[in-house]
Structure 1
Amino acid sequence: MMASERDVFGLSGPGHLTLTDWKNPDHRRSVAASLVQGVYVMERDRQQNRQGPEALAPTWWEFFHYHIIRKLVDDADFSIFGAIYEFKFPTANQSHSAAPEAPKYIIAFRGTITKPDSILQDLKSDLDFIRNCLHRNSRFELAMQAVQDIVSDVGPLNVWLCGHSLGSAMAMLAGKNMAKTNIFLESFLFNPPFVSAPIERIKDKKLKQGIRLAGSVITALGAIAVKSHQGRSISEDSFAMWSAWVPCLFVNPEDHFCSKYIRNFEHREKMEKIGAGGIGRLATQNSKRDLLLTAFGKESDPLHLLPSANLIINKSPSADFRTAHGIQQWWRPDLQLKYKTYLYE
């Protein structure tokens, strides 16, 4: 089977980064995205039986002086869903001290691959995310243990978390879990999915704003009701624990899977400006579905809700949804990016 151009680093990768400046945010973003792509290509190598010199994946990490120390493999279908990379110069007289800003280890997770050898387990993980039970997913349990082991061995300053789409959700959950223990990992979350009602399709801006405001009020009232019944808001403790974690969220407004993050943070800011910050903060901490589950005694912590983030929006035009959602956009050298940091206080 002929390889897709997107899998070939020399054709579609960031070959322009012949010298990586680890202090440059564009370079850091490109490296993180490339190593996530390496996981995608590694799994496609496996499915298409590309081995040895025919394998296309290694160039995606070797170009940046990384090598694989562990593949994260699903127990059910043996698909590769993640990888742990270690920084290592190719010559013996060079060491990590030659590039101290480079992370010693990068843990990366891919998203869904719609091919027969992996689609069933990928879709199962997708559904677990939608149902807000990704934390019980066997694939995530392997990922979480891998993150904890690496951080325990080398410390948090030497580790990056990276992921795209479903893999971004896994990296986000792993990052949240570590943040709850006061360990804050530098994280690059590409096109992280946000489950919500599709109100962005409504054309009337005033109607959309009214719906968002009403939704915030309803969610805040629900949180107050649960707090009065149980003695606390279901998410206030966890929000306080991980609010110091500020992951990088890379989103495209034309990707309906992740674009709600833009509206979510903007809406919270607007609520502050109109003097309804308390309502906005309560709504940020909770989702209506998870409040309902908690009211019936099922403790639920909505994965997609974040207190703080560095939001990076790709303002460059996208040819189609596949382009807007794809990992390939994030190493392009000509991106038009908008940066905004949101801190929860």
Structure 2
Amino acid sequence: MMVSEREIFSLSGPLYLTAIDWRNTDHRRCVAASLVQSVYILERDRQQNRKGPNALAPPWWEFFHFRLIQVLADTEDQSYFSAIYEYKYPNSHFHYKTMDDIQNQKQNQNPPKYVIAFRGTIAKKGNRSQDFKLDLGLIRNNLHNSSRFHIGLQVVQNIVQNHGVSDIWLAGHSLGSSIALLIGRDMVKMGIHLETYLFNPPFTSLPIEKFMKNEKLKHGIRFAHSVLTARLSIAVNSNRPKSQQSHDPFTLLSAWVPYLFLNPSDPICTEYVGYFEHREKMVAIGAGDIGRIATQNSIRSIIANARGKDQSEPSHLLPSAFVTINLSPSPDFKRAHGIHQWWNPSLHCNCKFYQFR
């Protein structure tokens, strides 16, 4: 079968990262994205029965001194949707006279001990049926009912229980980033904050940011939407028992700061750009209270909860994040949404920290 050049690490991988500075956020981004890419290729290796020297996935983790310790398979179609990697220090890191020297070297490098990576949708035969079903579940805000989420959450909980919280990463792309986000949110509720890398995470609402260019009109639509959302939320919550009103999971999440990697040309994730920017604009015009309520609610979830149909939170909404926006031109959707852009050495980015207060 034909092999895509994008699957071959020696042709498409970040070969320039011969010396990784784990304190460098760009390096960490490239490693996380490469490990997510390796999950895509693990599934392609499985489908095409590529094993041993013919397998294309191993270089995508071995180059960064990781080893594969587990692959997670979907219970419906048996496809690989996630993988767990363990970092193994190169032998050169152990050429020290004392254990203190070794420990100091580890602390300075600060690589993750484990990375749990999740792939996104594969729109090809053998994957599209189950992956599109999960995409629909994401749109309907019930991805938390999927086996992929439950399998992933159990694995993450086991790793944390057996090895501690420090230096464990979650990483995902597209649909996979939504699963990683759900798991990260659940871990926060247990008091555990995991370093999380979300590439092109889906924002499940109309992509106003992508298709509306008039800034005044765009702000007007967002403002009206915020007012409507806030009023609906206040009306619904006023009828709830006080014990439920005092429960504020959004504020609890605010101390957890995942990394979001967005491309404004990608309609799947670009609305996150407007989501965070609009929140700041609401504060600037003196409507911070409205913005605060609206930013943690969706109209669909408010209505569903009022009807008693769904008590889940809108999982795509985030209180805090490190947001990285790819400002490099993307000629088509495939490149705007693809994982490869995130280790491009000529990537031009804008980064900003958003904190919910």
Query: How does the TM-score come out when normalised to structure 2?
Result: 0.93
**1:295 aligned to 2:309?**
no
Note if contact 1:252-1:315 (Cα within 8 Å) is conserved in structure 2: yes
Q: What aligned pairs does 1:173-212 form with structure 2 within 5 A after superposition?
A: 173-200=182-209, 201-212=211-222
**1:244 aligned to 2:255?**
yes
- SS of equivalent residue, structure 1 residue 229: coil
**1:254 aligned to 2:268?**
no
Q: Within 2, Cα distance between the matches of 1:118 and 1:146?
A: 22
**1:165 aligned to 2:174?**
yes
The residue identity in structure 1 corresponding to 2:267 is H
Note if contact 2:207-2:268 (Cα within 8 Å) is conserved in structure 1: no
Q: Within 2, Cα distance between the matches of 1:207 and 1:288?
A: 20
**1:130 aligned to 2:139?**
yes
- SS of equivalent residue, structure 1 residue 75: coil
Could you tell me how far 1:300 is from its partner in structure 2?
Answer: 2.6
Could you tell me how far 1:90 is from its partner in structure 2?
Answer: 5.2
Q: What aligned pairs does 1:306-345 form with structure 2 within 5 A after superposition?
A: 306-345=318-357
- SS of equivalent residue, structure 1 residue 163: strand
- SS of equivalent residue, structure 1 residue 81: strand
Q: How many residues align?
A: 345
Decide which moves more: 208-217 or 98-107.
Answer: 98-107
Percent of aligned pairs with the same amino acid = 57
- What residue in structure 2 maps to residue 281 of structure 1? 292
Note if contact 2:31-2:64 (Cα within 8 Å) is conserved in structure 1: yes
Note if contact 1:254-1:324 (Cα within 8 Å) is conserved in structure 2: yes
Q: What aligned pairs does 1:44-63 form with structure 2 within 5 A after superposition?
A: 44-63=44-63
Q: In 2 relative to 1, CA 234–116 (structure 1 residues): closer, same or farther, beyond 3 Å?
A: farther
The residue identity in structure 1 corresponding to 2:276 is F
Q: Within 1, Cα distance between the matches of 2:94 and 2:241?
A: 57
Q: What aligned pairs does 1:83-232 form with structure 2 within 5 A after superposition?
A: 83-89=83-89, 91=91, 94=94, 97=103, 98-100=105-107, 101-200=110-209, 201-231=211-241
Unaligned runs of 5+ in 1: none
Q: Within 2, Cα distance between the matches of 1:179 and 1:89?
A: 29
Q: In 2 relative to 1, CA 236–343 (structure 1 residues): closer, same or farther, beyond 3 Å?
A: farther
- What residue in structure 2 maps to residue 14 of structure 1? 14
1:304 to 316, 334, 346: 316
- CA displacement 1:255-305 (0-9 Å, x = unmatched): 010000000000000000111000001001100000000110131310110
Q: Within 1, Cα distance between the matches of 2:235 and 2:258?
A: 31
Q: In 2 relative to 1, CA 226–86 (structure 1 residues): closer, same or farther, beyond 3 Å?
A: same
- What residue in structure 2 maps to residue 266 of structure 1? 277
Note if contact 2:208-2:271 (Cα within 8 Å) is conserved in structure 1: no
Q: Within 2, Cα distance between the matches of 1:73 and 1:198?
A: 32
Q: Within 1, Cα distance between the matches of 2:75 and 2:208?
A: 38
Q: Within 2, Cα distance between the matches of 1:257 and 1:227?
A: 30
Could you tell me how far 1:204 is from its partner in structure 2?
Answer: 2.8
Q: Within 2, Cα distance between the matches of 1:92 and 1:15?
A: 20
Q: Within 1, Cα distance between the matches of 2:259 and 2:246?
A: 22
Q: Within 1, Cα distance between the matches of 2:67 and 2:231?
A: 51
RMSD: 1.7
Could you tell me how far 1:234 is from its partner in structure 2?
Answer: 7.0
Could you tell me how far 1:49 is from its partner in structure 2?
Answer: 1.2
Could you tell me how far 1:198 is from its partner in structure 2?
Answer: 3.6
Q: Within 2, Cα distance between the matches of 1:109 and 1:297?
A: 32
The residue identity in structure 2 corresponding to 1:141 is H
Could you tell me how far 1:19 is from its partner in structure 2?
Answer: 1.0
- CA displacement 1:139-171 (0-9 Å, x = unmatched): 111011111111111112120000000000000
The residue identity in structure 2 corresponding to 1:332 is N
The residue identity in structure 2 corresponding to 1:296 is R
Q: Within 1, Cα distance between the matches of 2:130 and 2:139?
A: 14
Could you tell me how far 1:137 is from its partner in structure 2?
Answer: 0.4
Q: Within 2, Cα distance between the matches of 1:120 and 1:332?
A: 31
Q: In 2 relative to 1, CA 235–263 (structure 1 residues): closer, same or farther, beyond 3 Å?
A: farther
Decide which moves more: 84-93 or 174-183.
Answer: 84-93
Q: In 2 relative to 1, CA 281–192 (structure 1 residues): closer, same or farther, beyond 3 Å?
A: same
Q: Within 2, Cα distance between the matches of 1:24 and 1:177?
A: 28
Could you tell me how far 1:114 is from its partner in structure 2?
Answer: 1.3
Q: In 2 relative to 1, CA 333–231 (structure 1 residues): closer, same or farther, beyond 3 Å?
A: same
- SS of equivalent residue, structure 1 residue 341: strand
Note if contact 2:207-2:270 (Cα within 8 Å) is conserved in structure 1: no
Unaligned runs of 5+ in 2: 96-101
- SS of equivalent residue, structure 1 residue 176: helix
- CA displacement 1:110-132 (0-9 Å, x = unmatched): 00011222221111211111110
- CA displacement 1:233-272 (0-9 Å, x = unmatched): 8796111221100000000000010000000000000000
- What residue in structure 1 maps to residue 99 of structure 2? none
